[in-house]
Amino acid sequence: MRPVWTIARRELKALFDQPTAYILLVVFTAVNGFLCFRQLDLYGVASLRPMFDFLPWVLLLLVPAVTMRALAEDARSGTLEVVLAQPITELELLLGKYVGQVLFLWLALAITLTIPLGLVLGTAPQLGIVVAQYVGAALLILGLGGVGVWASSATRNQITAFILAVTVMFALILVGLDPLIVGLPASLGAIAASLGVLSHFSSIGRGVIDLRDAVYFVTLAVLFLVFAYFALESRRVTPHGEALRRLRLGTVFLAFATIVVNLFGRHIGGRLDLTPGNSFTLSRATRQLLRTLPDLVTLKLFASAALPPEVAFLKRDVDDLLNDYRAAGRGKVKVVIADPASDSAAMKEARTLGIPPVQFNVLGQAELQVKEGYLGLAIRHADGVKTIPFVQQSNDLEYRLTSDIRALTHPEKTVIAFGEISDAAAARGQRSFEALRERLASRYDVRPFGVTDTSIAPGVRVIAVAGTPDSLDNAQVTRLRGFLDRGGSLLLMAGGMQLQLSQQGPPFAASRRVGWNALLKPYGVSIASNMVYDLASNVQVGIPAQFGQVLVPYPFWLRALSTKASPVNADLEAVLLPWTSQIDTPPVTAGTVTPLLVTSRAGGVQETMAFLDPSRAFSRDSLRRRVVALLASAPGPDTTKGAPRGRLVVVGSGDFASDRYTRNSPENLVFVENAIDWLAQDDALIAIRSKNRAPPPLVFTSATTRGAVKYGNVIGVPVLLVGAGILRLWRRRQMTRRTYRPLAAGSPA
């Protein structure tokens, strides 16, 4: 290994002794920073996916540019034969060259760490996902580096090596996409799909280091290094001789063995889940449920053999999850896989269960083809059955499976009541809660609720209400307080401002009385008659411009940040709260009130009247964190006489769980479902449901900090690299100009 390391160090030093290396580093970092921050500014989330989504295409040019001189230059200048005349082997030379090129590329990748380090000044990206993404990028470089070194060994011309490497890498990036596998048999199409670089890289980019993806990139590097070794060895053997035939036979054997390992690696299990909350690992609640199953549960997967590549890799995740269920069930979970496309009985059963074929648009050569395929699930227990007609994503699949298994094995349902207080928005038909009602009905016995009802239905454990009454009379307060005193729980979604969205004038909101505050007083909680805005953590809305629309920040629509202080929000990053009010918390007994959602430090309030125009100016006075959602519980059964005993969750917005907002912000529904589970003292599925999360919003304390991070990476880092390159090259030039002075006789060596 010492010769390999010596050659690698020499190769790395030789790269930095030329201006080409610094030019490549400057271009790479500048392009990465520009592409990354362009997307970050658009979507406003603390995620490095924008950079890593473009990384394979950037490496398509960077890797050949770095590796094209590795062996081609030595072969052209004749130094290759001189080097091989030394006591080193062709294999050691090849590996040394390869390691040197890969180390340089890894160094280029390491320089991009300034991007996540800069984002820490705002909202830090999720650490586990960042680690997985960089491991995936390092593996991608490992594989593409092998391609580049092979291209350099196959020719004496650097430009030819560059073009050859770009061509092969481009093919590897595109292989497996629909236009290339149209018309292939199902088994061959699946193999072609598994050979694509992008699918394996994006799989690791989600935060899971899968052993199968690692095997792919390692075998890709080994395969092309075998080809490079053949190119080196063939230079010194006699053409058409016996040695050349043996070399060809050995190369074919090694290449075949590498391909077999690659294909076999597709069936190797094992993964390291670095996502927050271990999204791709069974949660404790699921394992506990499966260990206590009363009888056999059958999970039947209806999946077609021929699926588009993106769906094929989704099926891989589904297979992994089902195997995890089978292992955790300890014999009480049976997994069956059927292909309705090739089995008429399976097709009939799928149709009976309500699992239809789904049409996929496949782009072929000069035509758009429509193909049908299955990827649905049926869960059976005793005489009951639940189905998932089509698995669209794997993020929330564990929650759906565990919920269905629990509903089949534990059919009793907790009773909750859900009500809505009509206001101007509801009267115009702009507010509905059909999605929330449907989600709740799958797990709970949902009853109607009205503030004016003379009684509360027996057996109700939780009341959830959206909307704000102007007042509650004594009878209504007494009835609800009695419900809480009996151990009931309450979810209030209400604001302290009345929206006026008429067509005649500009939209505005005016302060109103909040009738709920009389009920909340014993908890030390009140909903303020104001509207909160956040100048840093908000969403963007489109406003008309001269040419179409432009996106501008809308501070009245908060990306409220999760405190992660309770099971309700422990795995959530943020929730969209439109036109929300502040929740005031006067001094109360310690531990009875827990903030759930807050603004950033750039949060302010508008009182009395607020004009809702997104282009208006917002005051920057008194900016600080504001509580916009909290939970409250009784201090204890024997502490304060007359204290309520029920649980309470209060959110300062009455609309955030409506269909209008949950359609694009599913985390809002997750928050409400978690809150109701906690209020019903049924916490089992909270952690599983919250795995369906979006990246945290990117929030900086000021525009100055945002600009410093952005331009520091896009401009600052390349400028520093230019300075470092000029300094090193200048010092090298000064050393080469020194006059040679032999050591004086008798002087120490």
Q: What is the pLDDT of residue 103?
A: 94
Task: Answer whether 108's CB lies under 8 Å from 25's CB.
Answer: yes
Give 302's contacts (C-beta < 8 A, 6+ positions apart): 338, 339, 340, 346, 349, 350, 355, 374, 375, 376, 377, 378
Task: Answer whether 491's CB lies under 8 Å from 420's CB.
Answer: no
In angstroms, rounded to a whole number, what is the distance separating the alpha carbons of residues 683 and 674? Answer: 8
In angstroms, rounded to a whole number, what is the distance separating the alpha carbons of residues 520 and 401? Answer: 37
Q: 187, 7, 170: which is closest to 97 by C-alpha?
A: 7
In angstroms, rounded to a whole number, what is the distance separating the alpha carbons of residues 472 and 50? Answer: 50
Tell me the pairing of strands 384-388 and 375-381: antiparallel
In angstroms, rounded to a whole number, what is the distance separating the alpha carbons of residues 101 and 63? Answer: 9
Q: Which amino acid is at 361?
A: N
Q: 629, 642, 644, 554: which is closest to 599 by C-alpha?
A: 629
Q: What is the pLDDT of residue 30?
A: 92
Alpha-carbon distances of 35 from 42, 204, 701, rounded to whole Å: 11, 20, 23
In tens, the pLDDT along 107-163 reads 999 999 999 999 888 887 888 889 989 999 999 999 999 999 999 988 888 899 999
Q: What is the pLDDT of residue 635?
A: 54
Q: What is the pLDDT of residue 129?
A: 87
Q: What is the pLDDT of residue 63?
A: 93
Alpha helices in 442-514 (DSSP H): 474-485
Tally of CB atoms within 10 A around 450: 11
> Residue 714 carries which DSSP code?
I
Tell me the pairing of strands 208-210 and 603-607: unpaired
Give 12's contacts (C-beta < 8 A, 6+ positions apart): 100, 103, 104
In angstroms, rounded to a whole number, what is the distance separating the alpha carbons of residues 66 and 396? Answer: 42
Task: Answer whether 49's CB lies under 8 Å from 205's CB.
Answer: yes
Task: Answer whether 535's CB lies under 8 Å from 618's CB.
Answer: yes
Q: For 216-236, b where at least 16 C-beta lie within 10 A, e where not — what string?
A: bbbbbbbbbbbbbbbbbbeee
Q: Which amino acid is at 506?
A: P
Q: What is the pLDDT of residue 639?
A: 42
Give 531's contacts (C-beta < 8 A, 6+ positions apart): 495, 496, 497, 509, 556, 579, 580, 581, 605, 606, 607, 610
Domains and CATH numbers, the chain: 2-273 (no CATH), 284-406 (3.40.30.10), 413-689 (3.40.50.880)
Task: Tell me which residues of the chain have a pLDDT lower than 50.
Answer: 182, 363-367, 425-429, 590, 637-641, 749
Task: Answer whether 440's CB lies under 8 Å from 462's CB.
Answer: no
> Residue 124 carries which DSSP code?
P
